[in-house]
Amino acid sequence: MTTLNEWFDKGLTEEEYKNSMTTHKENMENVAKQFSLPEDQEFFSSLAARNIRALVLTEDWCGDAMMNNPVLLALANESNIKVRFLLRDSNLELMDRYLTNGTARSIPIFIFIDEDGSEIGKWGPRAQKVQEFVDESKSTLPAKEDPAFKTGQELLFKQLTAAYQEREDFWLAVYEELKAVLKN
Residue 125 burial by Cβ neighbours in a 10 Å radius (0-12, 13-18, 19+): buried
Number of H helices, E strands in the chain: 9, 4
List the domains of the chain with CATH numbers.
Answer: 4-126+168-183 (3.40.30.10)
Binning pLDDT at 50, 70 and 90, where does residue 1 land?
confident
- pTM value? 0.95
pLDDT in tens, 31-47: 999 999 999 999 999 99
Distance CA 78, CA 134 (A): 29
Distance CA 5, CA 133 (A): 35
pLDDT in tens, 113-146: 999 999 999 999 999 999 999 999 999 999 999 9
Q: What confidence score (pLDDT) does residue 5 get?
A: 96
Asked if residue 125 has a cis previous peptide bond (ω within 30° of 0), the answer is yes
Rg (CA), the chain: 17
Residues 107-111 have a mean pLDDT of 98
